[in-house]
Amino acid sequence: MARRRASHVRIVFSYAFDWVFIAVLLALGAYVSRLPPKFSRFSLTDITIQYPHAEHDTVSFLLCGVLAVLVPVFVMAAWSFVIDRVRYRTISVPALLWEFNCAILGLALSLTLALVVTSSLKGIVGRPRPDAIARCLPEPGAQDRPVYGLSDISICSQTDTSVLNDGFRSWPSGHSSTAFSGLFFLSLYFAGKVCLFDNKGEVWKMVLVLLPTLGASAIACSRILDKRHHGTDVLSGTILGIASAWISYRLYFPPLSATEREGRAWSIRHWADSKVSPQPNNNPSAYDDVDEEDEEHEIGLATPTDNVPRRRPVGDGRNSSPVIETYGQSSFYPERYELADLHAFNVDIDRDGFANLPNSSDVNNNHEPERGNNNLEQPRNPFQS
């Protein structure tokens, strides 16, 4: 069955639910963060919570939000509308908007997931901060209870409820989870765009990818220096932020190992889409019906890298080997070659990872035959004289 073409309205509605879900998560996180925490019992002799209370943070939550939210948005916008515009000179404006939309969706989902989980855990656990006793302001001469050896907030003379409540929101670190959910997402975005794992070993790519993560690490470490969090709080917030960023990135972008996609977002998702399925046919010459133009070409989102081959089973779709599909110049149906046959050829130096998908450089250098040419000849090895 041929693939149904997507309309603009169906595409917008399919992703509008994502934005609604993110807005609901944001509202939920904001509401939970305002609830009073569970005040855990503590000991007045616990030296880990006897640090003085600093009035100002090295990195305020506002500054953390700017670094974790606005900086990635600005950088991804510049990459989408400037770098990609230069990189793919024939790319359309809708394609640029599409890439930017997926990047912002992933970033927003990462941040809201981290916010909801962090706020919920802070309120449920209610762990005292390192400066909890200084916030509590115990009465002069106060001591721990003789039976259980622990105290509660009944001994506190603090009149500012917000200061006291915040003193029992130590685990996990909100600065750490926010910083890593935003900046580590930016690191993943960089890693995909520069093809970090393309087996070329270029150091500048690693430096670029690590810069946002190092910034997030600096923000997290400042919470320990300010005596706002314990080390385990920061570590837990870091893991939470990394997990949120990774999950959100993989929802909208391919794995970093798929370097042939050059960090481009997944194909358009829309509801009521009938995908092409393999036909149960024992005749190897019988092909599935393939649309000459799919929905990406229909709305103008196709780019020069859309020539990435598609893998599809042959035969009954269960026990058959994957195939490589390439589109010839005169045939409506794709040319198909078994992977076992293609692996016998020393192909592809243009990072697409597949055979018989040449660009102009491949053809001119005699690395691969011209598109539509059914004659697979042994290519010349450029490393042999």
pLDDT tens digit sequence for 312-367: 444 444 444 444 333 333 333 333 334 444 344 444 444 444 444 555 655 666 55
pLDDT tier for residue 269 given thresholds of 50, 70 and 90: low
The pLDDT of residue 10: 73
Between 146 and 26, residue with greater pLDDT: 26
Between 377 and 329, residue with greater pLDDT: 377
**Does residue 379 surpass a pLDDT of 80?**
no
pLDDT tier for residue 7 given thresholds of 50, 70 and 90: low
Give, as one character, the DSSP assignment of residue 307: G
**Does residue 279 surpass a pLDDT of 60?**
no
Averaged pLDDT score across all residues of the chain: 77
* Mean local confidence (pLDDT), 143-154: 85
DSSP string, 289-302: ---SS-HHHHTT--
The pLDDT of residue 201: 86
* Catalytic annotation, residues: 175, 229
Give, as one character, the DSSP assignment of residue 68: I
**Does residue 378 surpass a pLDDT of 70?**
no
Residue pLDDT, tens place only, 116-146? 999 999 999 999 999 999 999 998 888 888 8
**Does residue 6 surpass a pLDDT of 70?**
no
**Does residue 255 surpass a pLDDT of 80?**
yes
Q: What are the two backbone dihedrals, phi and then psi, of residue 185, each rounded to the nearest 5 degrees? A: -60, -40
The pLDDT of residue 176: 97
* Mean local confidence (pLDDT), 270-291: 40
Between 15 and 43, residue with greater pLDDT: 43
What distance in Å separates the CA atoms of residue 378 and residue 368, rounded to the nearest whole number? 9
**Does residue 40 surpass a pLDDT of 70?**
yes
Contact 80, 88 (CB under 8 A): no
**Number of residues that this document lists for the chain:** 385
Between 355 and 34, residue with greater pLDDT: 34
The pLDDT of residue 96: 86
**Does residue 55 surpass a pLDDT of 90?**
no
The pLDDT of residue 245: 97
* Mean local confidence (pLDDT), 89-109: 89
Contact 156, 164 (CB under 8 A): yes
**Does residue 23 surpass a pLDDT of 70?**
yes
The pLDDT of residue 340: 41
Between 306 and 292, residue with greater pLDDT: 306
**Does residue 236 surpass a pLDDT of 90?**
yes
What distance in Å separates the CA atoms of residue 301 and residue 263, rounded to the nearest whole number? 15
119, 121, 125, 127 alpha-carbon torsion, rounded to 10°: -60
Query: Please, is 10 exposed, middle or buried when counting C-beta atoms within 10 Å of its C-beta (0-12, 13-18, 19+)?
Result: middle
Q: For residue 31, give the amino acid letter.
A: Y
Contact 115, 61 (CB under 8 A): no
Contact 38, 126 (CB under 8 A): yes
The pLDDT of residue 306: 44
- Report the share of the chain in percent with pLDDT over 90: 51
* Mean local confidence (pLDDT), 196-217: 94
CA distances from 72 to 76, 87, 100, 170, 345 (A): 6, 20, 11, 27, 42
The pLDDT of residue 360: 60
75 Cβ contact list (under 8 Å, min separation 6): 186
Instruction: Using alpha carbons only, give the angle 59, 249, 179 rounded to the nearest 5 degrees.
Output: 5
Tokens matching residue 360: 């102009």
The pLDDT of residue 364: 63
Instruction: Using alpha carbons only, give the angle 143, 144, 147 rounded to the nearest 5 degrees.
Output: 130
Between 98 and 103, residue with greater pLDDT: 103
